[in-house]
Structure 1
Amino acid sequence: MSDNEGFFNNITHLLKQDYRGVNVSKFSKASTVPDHFVRKHETLQGSFVGVQHSPLRVLVDHRAPIYLPLWHSAKPPLPVKLWGIEVASMNAVNWLECVAKGQKVTLKLIARDNDDLLSSVSLHLPQHRKKTTETLDIAERLVELGFATASVPKNLKKNTIESKLAPALLSAEARAKSFRNGVWSENLPPLPAYVVFWRKGSQVTTDIVTLSAKKLAHVLLIASKGIFSGVKKLALRPFRSPPKQVQTT
């Protein structure tokens, strides 16, 4: 047996196994994801590549732990249905294409719905100025913006992944309604003028306090640098003994 035949035989053997096969498998359809992966709500890594329309599905280029260029490059991305929401505006598509395109994502598998793979999708956005990464739940953010509505099943079982995700989605929808974001600007009556005025005043106050705190911190920083510089110069100054006094008789 040649080396090439041995290599491909080993790959075939891995693909026939549940977990080891997944290490080199790139999922492109919900049906290709092993059942036990869904039952155990496994986590998958990948990148956001686009949106599938009618119905809307998030397209994720799932990257297998062991990447084989010739094996994986030709496979299409994996369509994922966001659990717990219904898209209510095309602005959801625009937002996803603008913010999420090409960014890293993490899938938390939840369940199957016919041919759909239900999942929560976390988006990882690099913050270049702070050199950190902001992680946000896509479904929750779409609901908060008013581009989607919460569609959480009733009577969820306790201590399940669904019961942990549902409160955040419902809270996001409550905030969207409160601020008349997205679709709620048309589906709910306008906010009373005093509420709008009060919120704007609260925001201005918050901005002033934040700005004052930043200025105070800046002043204290400059002062501390000045004190440190003075102490440093004093410490580095050469020591001179006091002049000797001449005793007279």
Structure 2
Amino acid sequence: MSEKEGGFFYNIESLLEKDYRGVNIAVYSIATAGLALAIHKIRPVSKFSKASKIPEHFFKQHEPLKGVYAGVQHSPVRLLINHKAPVYLPLWHSSKPPLPVKLWGVDIVSGNAMNWLDCVAKGQKVTLKPIAREKDDLVSTVILHLHQPKTKTEETLDLGQKLIELGFAKASVPQQIGKRTVESKLAPALLSAESRAKSQRNGIWSDQLPPVPFYVVYWRRGCHMTRDLLVLSTKKILQIIVFLSKNALVGAKYIIRRPFKSNSKQIQAT
């Protein structure tokens, strides 16, 4: 190594060994600011009990909030959700009340909705997607997570769509909705659910609309029976195919092994 190269590396080493307080302070300041920004964005220890306490960027970016369904608030009807912060602090969080949530585009008009929610959603995990706030109430969608023990899977259910489909609520979608927004995706699903509820005369629509003509009822029953028969027939056909395939495989193995056994016997005889 030349003297010039040795001097160069020596200068680099001495430069790294020097304590530059200004540089260290700047690095630590940037790291601290980044950590503070991340904490402000995620709010890992914040349990929201009022929509007014939720930061604005949660609404702009529709950051999902996790929680547990706690019940229903009457007049006005609001779903009560126990928001679960990423970092749970028992003494602090347990004392805070649940967050009142208004379902976007949904107007609950039947008392049966409360009974159904208590039976299906009580104590179950939910996910909220904040859309707007009305004073202390959060306007959001509520996705229910139902664990299926038999299949060991999780079923997700949009509570707003389901309440409308059951005829316990009406779709109250605003007329002017921006394109390529969350609301533009939710509105068609809610209107479609209400259309199904009306056609089936579910819930409130059984009294507000005339009965379904008898030929439509028979047609629907026929379609359901045909569908069920097709499903059963398909399952039977698949079972027969599997059975034949297994038998064919066993027969093929027997045929393949048989000549070798006969040849071995001939060799032993000779």
The alignment's TM-score, normalised by the length of structure 2, stands at 0.79
Matched residue, 1:211: 232
Secondary structure, counterpart of 2:266 in structure 1: coil
Backbone CA RMSD of aligned residues? 2.5
Q: Does 1:180 align with 2:201?
A: yes
Q: How does 1:168-247 map to 2 (within 5 A)?
A: 168-230=189-251, 239-240=260-261, 241-244=264-267
Percent identity of paired positions between Structure 1 and Structure 2: 59
Equivalent position to 2:40, from 18, 25, 28? 18
1:59 partner letter: L
Q: Give the CA deviation at 1:206.
A: 0.8
Secondary structure, counterpart of 1:134 in structure 2: strand
Change (3 A) 1:176 1:244: same
Gaps in structure 1 of 5+ consecutive residues = 1-12
Equivalent position to 1:125, from 136, 141, 146? 146
Gaps in structure 2 of 5+ consecutive residues = 1-34
Change (3 A) 1:29 1:217: same
Aligned residues: 233
Moved more, 23-32 or 169-178: 23-32
Equivalent position to 1:111, from 127, 132, 141? 132
| Larger Rg over CA atoms | 2
Structure 2 CA distance for aligned equivalents of residues 62 and 131 of structure 1: 25
Q: Does 1:97 align with 2:152?
A: no
Equivalent position to 2:72, from 34, 47, 51? 51
Change (3 A) 1:61 1:233: farther
The alignment's TM-score, normalised by the length of structure 1, stands at 0.85
Matched residue, 1:5: none
Q: Give the CA deviation at 1:36.
A: 2.0
Change (3 A) 1:238 1:159: same
- Give deviations 1:57-116, integer Å, cap 9, x for gaps: 111111111112222122222111101010010111111111111111110000012332
1:19 partner letter: K
Equivalent position to 2:96, from 66, 71, 75? 75
Change (3 A) 1:243 1:155: same
2:190 partner letter: L
